[in-house]
Amino acid sequence: MMDWTDRHCRVFHRHITRHTWLYTEMVTTGALVYGDVERHLRYDGVEHPVALQLGGSDPADLAKSAKLGEQWGYDEINLNCGCPSERVQKGAFGACLMGEPQLVADCVKAMRDAVSIDVTVKHRIGIDYNEEYGFVRDFIGTIADAGCKTFIVHARNAVLKGLSPKENREIPPLRYEVAYQLKREFPELEIIINGGIKTDEEIALHLQHVDGVMLGREAYHNPWVMANWDRRFYGDADAPLKTRVQVLEAMVPYIGEQLRLYGQHGLKLNSITRHMLGIMSGLPGARAFRQLLSDPKMLAGADPALLLQAAARMPVAA
């Protein structure tokens, strides 16, 4: 989800669901230890609960980065052990870390010693073509011994050589039963399943076997899938039943303020509105909505009201 779930995207998603946990895009330890901390960790208070996802493999650097995340007010620190991209592999982190469970355990322990908030791990169920259950079982067992209690399980293998990140999301088969088995074997751990899940009905089915469900690309491309989660999955009977247009209306003042604060630093209208292109997905007129929000001439005006102009073109109430 690199370059997708940035702070603007998360504010938008928070206006759809107020209880769902949101995760940052992966932030490398190098960016925090040696780079612009404010640029990478800045977020809006409305985003809570929000987790900072880190990429790295050096325990000391991860501890420093986790501490920064806690100081900035994040609610959870998540270590990425699932990204299969070559760029991430060259940095010796992401999915390749699954081949070094003791190193991951050392990283988790260093972070847990540095912060008081939860430290969690997101990972695959195997690397390359090793589909033995014992591989992921032993990985989780080693990390759990270091104190990690929550594991987000992308239920596919990560093929480190020969497949692109996109192919790694499509070609290795989904094996949800592996995550289910992990929950049975480690009942004391929180097991959250991820990968290929798109509907509330699928979420409800998985929740019969595991503790939680994570959606990535589906929540991004079809954000309205989250509209009923507060009521259905968090038991919040008082959660407001918003319309899509009401969500867009709530974003207009936020966009105006962000452009005022950061426009001189290069922030453009489409840097925020690009995350909202899918909110009308499945409705008549959704294509015209996307086209208007993607029109360079219209975007050049830097007017947040463009969101409402686009919504007004919808032939049915949204």
The residue annotated as part of the active site, out of 83, 96, 107, 148, is 83
Look at residue 41 in the predicted model and tell me its pLDDT.
Answer: 98
Q: 83 catalytic, yes or no?
A: yes
Q: How far apart are CA 254 and CA 107, in angstroms?
A: 37
Gyration radius from the chain CA atoms:
20
Contact present, 248 and 307 (Cβ < 8 Å):
yes
Q: How far apart are CA 118 and CA 190, in angstroms?
A: 12
DSSP H or E stretch at residue 286:
helix 286-293
Q: C-alpha angle 44/49/54, rounded to 5°?
A: 85
Asked if 213 and 271 sit in the same domain, the reply is: no
Asked if 113 and 186 sit in the same domain, the reply is: yes
DSSP, collapsed to helix, strand or coil, labels residue 50 as strand
Asked if 199 and 164 sit in the same domain, the reply is: yes
Asked if 302 and 203 sit in the same domain, the reply is: no
Q: How far apart are CA 229 and CA 219, in angstroms?
A: 12
Asked if 294 and 227 sit in the same domain, the reply is: no
Asked if 221 and 277 sit in the same domain, the reply is: no
DSSP H or E stretch at residue 168:
helix 165-168
Look at residue 166 in the predicted model and tell me its pLDDT.
Answer: 83
Look at residue 92 in the predicted model and tell me its pLDDT.
Answer: 65
> Does a structural domain hold residue 287?
yes
Asked if 219 and 262 sit in the same domain, the reply is: no
Per-residue pLDDT in tens (0 to 9) along the chain, 318 residues: 677 899 999 999 999 999 999 999 999 999 999 999 999 999 999 999 999 999 999 999 999 999 999 999 999 999 999 987 766 555 567 889 999 999 999 999 999 999 999 999 999 999 999 999 999 999 999 999 999 999 999 999 999 888 888 888 888 999 999 999 999 999 999 999 999 999 999 999 999 999 999 999 999 999 999 999 999 999 999 998 899 999 999 999 999 999 999 999 999 999 999 999 999 999 999 999 999 999 999 999 999 999 999 999 888 767
> Does a structural domain hold residue 137?
yes
DSSP H or E stretch at residue 212:
strand 212-214
- What does each C-alpha distance from 89 to 28, 120, 161 come to in angstroms? 12, 20, 10
Q: How many domains does the chain have?
A: 2
Contact present, 276 and 307 (Cβ < 8 Å):
yes
Asked if 172 and 254 sit in the same domain, the reply is: no
Asked if 125 and 70 sit in the same domain, the reply is: yes
Domain range for 258 is 244-312
DSSP, collapsed to helix, strand or coil, labels residue 130 as coil
DSSP symbols for 231-253: HHTT--TT-----HHHHHHHHHH
Q: Which of 23, 7, 47, 15 is nearest to 239 (CA)?
A: 15
Q: How far apart are CA 30 and CA 45, in angstroms?
A: 25
